[in-house]
Amino acid sequence: MGMTPIDFWYSIGSTYSYLTVMRLPEVVRREGLKLRWRPFDVRHVMTLQNNSPFKDKPVKAAYMWRDIQRRAAGYGLAPQIPAPYPLANLALANQVAVLGTKRGWVEDYTRATYRRWFEMGQPAGEAPNLPDSLSAIGLDPVQTLAEAESDRIVAALARETEAAMAAGVFGSPSFVVGTELFWGDDRLDDAIAWARRPV
Amino acid sequence: MGMTPIDFWYSIGSTYSYLTVMRLPEVVRREGLKLRWRPFDVRHVMTLQNNSPFKDKPVKAAYMWRDIQRRAAGYGLAPQIPAPYPLANLALANQVAVLGTKRGWVEDYTRATYRRWFEMGQPAGEAPNLPDSLSAIGLDPVQTLAEAESDRIVAALARETEAAMAAGVFGSPSFVVGTELFWGDDRLDDAIAWARRPV
């Protein structure tokens, strides 16, 4: 059966993306998906689009944490809720991820840093989370961070963020299948079903 | 097996609530739910909480309509997308619904008015949708509207809106099971599973 590739657009810094990042590798394997991890800067997009889902919305934010906690339990995950939020260094966390897309370790890094963020209470994008996550996947933190902070990688993240917006992405996690956009961890099944449709 | 009652909090005026309103009676029957329809004024809550999910957010709003269209197809529904939005007379549409909770026709009215709104392009809360929906379920439109506009019913809607906020509700549709809140048509299954947990 044919399978359309899926672009998994996400930002380290998104809370609901924790659910997707932690369960995705097994889903990809089980479902036989062709899926690309594509980090972008969701904060840039949300600022441009006047779309801050939780800022100054304490009731909705409280619900978000409880909802994540319940959904995580359903996936066999045990996060410490609430995790530190929002992230001060969202851009840097995703610059590292973009570098990882070029080097083949984006998935390992993203999972390592989310685990420290959500399960150990350490904000992503800063010490100790960032250097420890890089060390844990066998990279040199000093050298990797220097490269992630280079103009070349800053520009690469900006380009990917533009590409995300061109695909209609406005939040994280999002799944793009051809021209169809699916937003939210709870739309992954719909995205997979769409990827299986005959083209 | 025990079954905790579910409060279905909704506002006529919410787009995603179309999905729930149209499929809920069959779900209630199939799953053997104890479920109460509880209309409230979501606009009042959103204004208080600085939470306008689609206003001045054209990219997110475009996604919302496409998402509803796809999910509706999955439920065997065929809405005309986009439906007129937002509703000018959201409060009146829900005053009528609150009256219906006292008279036993809230479910029939809500479905009749949503069908005209989403499948015939007629805004809820005004003519021709409102009088036609009331006539269709065997009520006298003039007499029913006069009663729905009374101080007693205006106050009843305000009380229900306060009760919704006291339960943590910030959007529509929401499902409350004991002290647990589930928000969104896509959380109905989670709410039902929670209602089945041993207490």
ipTM for the complex?
0.94
Residue B1 has pLDDT above 80, yes or no: no
DSSP letter, residue B173: S
Number of CB atoms found within 10 A of residue A164's CB: 26
Q: Please name the helix (run of DSSP H) or strand (run of DSSP E) that holds residue B56, with its range, or none.
A: none
The residues spanned by each domain of chain B are 6-195
Q: Please name the helix (run of DSSP H) or strand (run of DSSP E) that holds residue A183, with its range, or none.
A: strand A180-183
CA pair distance A162, B111, nearest whole angstrom: 42
Supply the pLDDT for residue A56.
87
Facing B50 at nearest CB: one of A51, A57, A66: A57
DSSP letter, residue B182: E
Contacts (Cβ under 8 Å, ≥6 apart) of B104: none
- On whether any CB of chain A is under 8 Å from the CB of B75, the answer is no
Each residue's pLDDT tens digit, B139-173: 999 999 999 999 999 999 999 999 999 999 999 99
Burial category of B53 from C-beta neighbours within 10 Å (exposed 0-12, middle 13-18, buried 19 and up): middle
CA of A55, closest CA in chain B: separation in Å?
A: 10
Task: Give me the percent of chain A exceeding a pLDDT of 70.
Answer: 99
Give per-residue burial for B21-30: e unless 16+ CB within 10 Å, then b: bbbbeeebee
Supply the pLDDT for residue A179.
96
3-state DSSP: chain B helix, strand, coil percent, rounded to 5? 55, 10, 35
Number of CB atoms found within 10 A of residue A37's CB: 18
Supply the pLDDT for residue B21.
98
Q: How far is CA A172 from the centre of its chain?
A: 7
Sign for the pseudo-dihedral over CA of A186, A62, B4, B8: negative
Q: How far is CA A3 from the centre of its chain?
A: 23
Q: Are B60 and A51 an interchain contact pair (Cβ–Cβ within 8 Å)?
A: yes
> Quick one: average pLDDT of B101-117?
98
As a whole number, the mean pLDDT across chain B is: 97
Each residue's pLDDT tens digit, A20-56: 999 999 999 999 999 999 999 999 999 999 888 888 8
Supply the pLDDT for residue A183.
98
CB distance B21 to B10 below 8 Å: yes
> Quick one: average pLDDT of A62-81?
97
Residue A82 has pLDDT above 90, yes or no: yes
CA of A19, closest CA in chain B: separation in Å?
A: 16
Each residue's pLDDT tens digit, B72-83: 999 999 999 999
> Quick one: average pLDDT of A109-114?
98
Number of CB atoms found within 10 A of residue B172's CB: 28
Question: Residue A84's closest CA among A58, A114, A47, A45?
Answer: A114
> Quick one: average pLDDT of B45-71?
93
> Quick one: average pLDDT of B30-48?
97
The band of A1, judged by pLDDT with boundaries at 50, 70 and 90, is low
The chain A residue lying nearest B74, using CA atoms, is A190
Burial category of B188 from C-beta neighbours within 10 Å (exposed 0-12, middle 13-18, buried 19 and up): buried
E strands within chain B?
6-10, 35-39, 174-177, 180-183
As a whole number, the mean pLDDT across chain A is: 97
Q: Are A51 and B67 an interchain contact pair (Cβ–Cβ within 8 Å)?
A: no
CA pair distance A54, A168, nearest whole angstrom: 21
Q: Are A60 and B190 an interchain contact pair (Cβ–Cβ within 8 Å)?
A: no
CATH number 3.30.450.20 is the correct assignment for the domain at A6-195: no
Residue B50 has pLDDT above 90, yes or no: no
CA pair distance A9, A97, nearest whole angstrom: 12
Each residue's pLDDT tens digit, A153-183: 999 999 999 999 999 999 999 999 999 999 9
CA pair distance B156, B40, nearest whole angstrom: 9
The chain A residue lying nearest B47, using CA atoms, is A57
DSSP letter, residue A12: B
pTM of the model: 0.96
Q: How many interchain CB pairs under 8 A, A with B? A: 53
Provide the token pair at A161. Answer: 């963020």
Residue A99 has pLDDT above 70, yes or no: yes
The chain A residue lying nearest B187, using CA atoms, is A186
